[in-house]
Amino acid sequence: MLNLYADRGNVQTLLRRCEWRGLHAHVTPVRRHDEVRLRDYHLVLIGGGSDREQALVAEALRRRRREWKAAVEDGLPVLAVCGGYQLLGEYYQLPDGTKVPGLELLDLVTTAGRPRLIGNIAIESPEVGTVVGFENHGGRTVHRHAPLGTVLRGHGNNGRDGYEGVRYRNVVGTYIHGPLLPKNPRLADFLLSLAAAYAGVAVDFPPLDDELEWAAHRAFLTRHAGVRGPR
């Protein structure tokens, strides 16, 4: 597992859910100047920092753009959140019009906007059901791929089209944090199963005791979206 500035909660969720099933996972945190060989990894997490940090990360990653593109086309599972999500696209346009180039892995662009889109968000995903969390982004993102889901409550990609996130091959991009994975165990296991398949490891994912996870998920849905949660 490769960790580029990802939320600690997401990394921890994936690690624990492997551990509880007796699987071994190794995490490599990456700093800006570290050299990374993508083919050594089965899952990549990209988080985001401030605009400034994000521009620095983008600049460093772009030098290996072709390697990234090949890996993603080959099915490398990627979870990109917030700034990391924006980074997957062509560019991020700052308020002054400057375009910070992204990794150009997806047909996706982001433009800074006002006000920031902030608040609790719930979406419905065809692959993993409801996904809940918090969003806080100035950027408005549009893309030509499938979304991760449709917005039940909140703003989503751009506050206009009712979609949130992106799905392309084994890439999942989203603005949802809070962090994303602890309260959304189906999505966490979905990513792990993608990683296992990509690694060529034949493992099944026996269900875990997710009582607390679903309690948090359900509490969120009833309180914020007026939707009754799964189970």
Partner 1 sequence: MRLTGRRATSFPGLVALRLSPSLLGRLGRQLKKCIVVTGTNGKTTASRLLAAILAAQDPQEPPDAWIHNAEGANLAQGVVSALLEHTDWRGRLQWTRAVLEIDEATLPRVAHDLPVQWVVVTNVFRDQLDRYGELDTTVRKILEGIRDMQATVLLNADDPLSRYIGLTAGRPAVYYGMERGMAKPPERETMRDGTLCLRCGRPLRYEGFFYGQLGVYECPACGFARPSPDFMGEYDGASLRVTGGGAPARFQLPVRGVFNAYNALAAIAMARLQGVPDSAVEEALRRYRGPLGRMQVYGTDPASVLNLVKNPAGCDTVLETLCGEDVDKVLCIAINDLAADGRDVSWLWDADFERIPERGRAVLCVTTGLRAEDMALRLKYAGYPTGRLEVVPDPDAALDRSLEAARAHGVPVVHVLATYTALYPMAEALRRRAAAAEPAPARAAREGERP
Contacting range for partner 1; rule: CB under 8 A; set: 69-77, 165-173, 193-201, 219-227: 219-227
Decide: is 9 part of the binding site for partner 1 (CB under 8 A).
Answer: yes
177 counts as catalytic: yes
Q: Site for partner 1 (CB under 8 A): which residue of 26, 99, 116, 144?
A: 116
Q: Hey, what amino acid is at 81?
A: V
Question: CB within 8 A of 65, min separation 6: which ones?
Answer: 103, 104
Taking the least distance from each CB to partner 1, the nearer of 5 and 41 is 5
Site for partner 1 in 46-65 (CB under 8 A): 49-53, 56
Q: Site for partner 1 (CB under 8 A): which residue of 70, 199, 201, 219?
A: 219
Element (H, E) at 3: strand 2-4
Q: Site for partner 1 (CB under 8 A): which residue of 149, 178, 186, 229?
A: 178
DSSP state of 214: H
CB contact burial 159-195 (16+ within 10 A = b; e otherwise): eeeebbbbbbbbbbbbbbbbbbbbbbbbbbbbbbebb
C-alpha to C-alpha distance for 65 and 102, rounded to whole angstroms: 9
Minimum Å gap between C-beta 33 and partner 1 is 8
Binding-site string for partner 1 from residue 120 to residue 159, where x marks contact by CB under 8 A and - marks none: x-------------x-x-x---------------------
Taking the least distance from each CB to partner 1, the nearer of 198 and 214 is 214
CB 140 within 8 A of CB 85: no
Decide: is 212 part of the binding site for partner 1 (CB under 8 A).
Answer: yes
Selected catalytic residue, list 18, 82, 155, 217: 82
Selected catalytic residue, list 42, 137, 143, 177: 177
CB 2 within 8 A of CB 43: yes
CB 162 within 8 A of CB 151: yes
Q: What are the CA-CA distances from residue 5 to residues 2, 46, 49, 100, 201 (Å)?
A: 10, 6, 7, 18, 27
Please list the active-site residues: 82, 177
Footprint of partner 1 (CB under 8 A): 5, 7-9, 12-13, 16, 29, 31-33, 49-53, 56, 116, 118-120, 134, 136, 138, 177-179, 182-183, 209, 212-213, 215-216, 219-220, 223
